[in-house]
Amino acid sequence: MEIELTAEQRAFRESCGKLAANLAARWHRGRGPHDIDPPTPGDDSWSRVVDSGWLAIGLREENGGAGASVVDLTVLAERLGYHAVPAPVLGAVIAAEQLQTWNAPPGLLQDLAEGGLRLAPALDAGLRTLAGAAENSLAWDAAGAEAAVIPATGVAHALGDALPFADPTRAVRPLGAPSGLPAITLTPPGEQALARLGAFTLSLLTADLLGTMQAALDAAIDHARTREQFGAPIGSFQAVQQLLADGHVLVEATRSASYHAAWAVDALPGAEALRAARVAKAFASRSAVEVCESAVQVFGGIGMTWEAPAHIWLRRAHTGRTVFGDEHHHQGVIADDDPHRS
């Protein structure tokens, strides 16, 4: 057993964090829900994303990628969550991974890796799984994306305007008519490869949730250290300490689950990896909401205002929880895994 990030991964984490903070700082969430910047990155931001190689590293080398491990990718996803980055990196990475799994031609994947073609993943209307057909399906994390591909048909669909979504850092857009892109020749993957794709997706979402809850907790701790009431920092009160300590426990447990799920995608057969990822996503979904709610509580009144960042984390926790299935969804699958009589 060897359960920690390597020195290289820690260095990568730091560089990801720097760019993520920079990207987040370029976006302004406005003075209220009536006044929000769209999450679409500007050209300058997008070229920084492309130059960083974030869109390429996860792809195999023959497809223009660096063949990085899923653990590496979750290091990135955690930092994106931590800084609540609005640029649609996860959407682009998941769309590319899906096409790679469906054996898309290397040229297309290279286009994605280089950010020239911007795709988003298509999900069913309940945002639970990757869509099998275009009808009623929704592209997620689709700000600035040109299209979303339905692998079963190879057709790239144009995307409509963003729908109202609780999370202002990510866009959800309905699939429309086929876009101008030529149809793509794809080969359906085997069952294990499909399961691995599911595990891959859930691992990234888990890491995003981990970063989100860590950010909310860190900010709440900072606030508790400095905000004074009754002549003392509120962080010196036992009731506040109990809340924050429980938050830390959940963050660390989620981190363990996230590491395990990411490791499993590369190390275990697809079905086992998917099970590990379901466990991690279910745990992260409930824990992220709980920790972000605690953070809002510690912030007090100020945490309920639009100008405080607390609600952005809470929104990202809730939407990250919903997308690709919340804890009830995955626990339902786990419950059904056991055949039963009653």
Partner 1 sequence: MNFADDPAEAGFRAGLRAWLRDHLDEHREGTGYESAESVERTLRWHRALAEAGYVGLSLPAAYGGHGLPDVYEGILNEELATAGAPASPPIGHIAHAVADFASEELKARVLPGLLGCAEVWCQGFSEPGAGSDLAGLTTTATADGDRFVVNGQKIWTSGAMWSDRCLLLARTEPGLARHRGLSMLVVDMRSAGVDCREIVLASGSREFAEVFFDDVSVPAANLVGERGQGWRIAMHMLAYERGPADMGWVGRLGRVLAEAREDVRTGRVAADAGLRLRLAEAAVDVEVLRWHVARSLAGRGGGSDGAAGSVDKLLTTRVEQNLYRVVSDLAGPSFVLGAPGPFADYLWSRAQSIYGGTQQIQRQIVAQRVLGLPRA
Site for partner 1 in 227-256 (CB under 8 A): 228-233, 235-246, 248-249, 252-256
Among 22, 136, 229, 242, binds its own copies (CB under 8 A): 242
- CA dihedral defined by 46, 48, 50, 52, rounded to 10 degrees? -150
Report which DSSP code applies to 119: B
Output phi, psi for 188, to 5 deg. -60, 135
Based on the shown chain and the rule CB under 8 A, indicate whether residue 13 belongs to the binding site for partner 1: no
Q: Which amino acid is at 189?
A: P
Minimum CB separation of residue 85 from partner 1 in Å reads 18
Closer Cβ to partner 1, 157 or 315, answer by number: 315
**Could you say which residues in the range 210-239 bind its own copies, by CB under 8 A?**
237-239
In angstroms, the CA 228 to CA 37 distance is 33
In angstroms, the CA 4 to CA 168 distance is 33
Closer Cβ to partner 1, 187 or 238, answer by number: 238
Q: What is the longest distance spanned by two Cα atoms in the chain?
A: 68
Closer Cβ to partner 1, 2 or 44, answer by number: 2
Report which DSSP code applies to 308: S
Among 14, 18, 22, 32, binds partner 1 (CB under 8 A): 32
**Could you say which residues in the range 264-323 bind its own copies, by CB under 8 A?**
none
**Could you say which residues in the range 36-95 bind partner 1, by CB under 8 A?**
69, 71
Among 125, 133, 152, 183, binds partner 1 (CB under 8 A): 125
| Number of residues forming the site for its own copies (CB under 8 A) | 4
Which of the stretches 43-51, 59-67, 146-154, 291-299 binds partner 1 when contact is defined by CB under 8 A? Answer: 291-299
Beta bridge partners, 119, equal 147
In angstroms, the CA 90 to CA 204 distance is 7
**Could you say which residues in the range 163-222 bind partner 1, by CB under 8 A?**
163-167, 172, 221
In angstroms, the CA 314 to CA 205 distance is 15
| Number of residues forming the site for partner 1 (CB under 8 A) | 94
Minimum CB separation of residue 240 from its own copies in Å reads 9
In angstroms, the CA 5 to CA 66 distance is 18
In angstroms, the CA 55 to CA 66 distance is 10
Minimum CB separation of residue 25 from partner 1 in Å reads 20
Q: Is 29 exposed, middle or buried (0-12, 13-18, 19+ CB in 10 A)?
A: buried
Contact criterion met (CB below 8 Å) for 295 and 224 = no
Based on the shown chain and the rule CB under 8 A, indicate whether residue 3 belongs to the binding site for partner 1: yes
Based on the shown chain and the rule CB under 8 A, indicate whether residue 260 belongs to the binding site for partner 1: yes
**Could you say which residues in the range 126-165 bind partner 1, by CB under 8 A?**
126-128, 138, 163-165
Closer Cβ to its own copies, 185 or 241, answer by number: 241
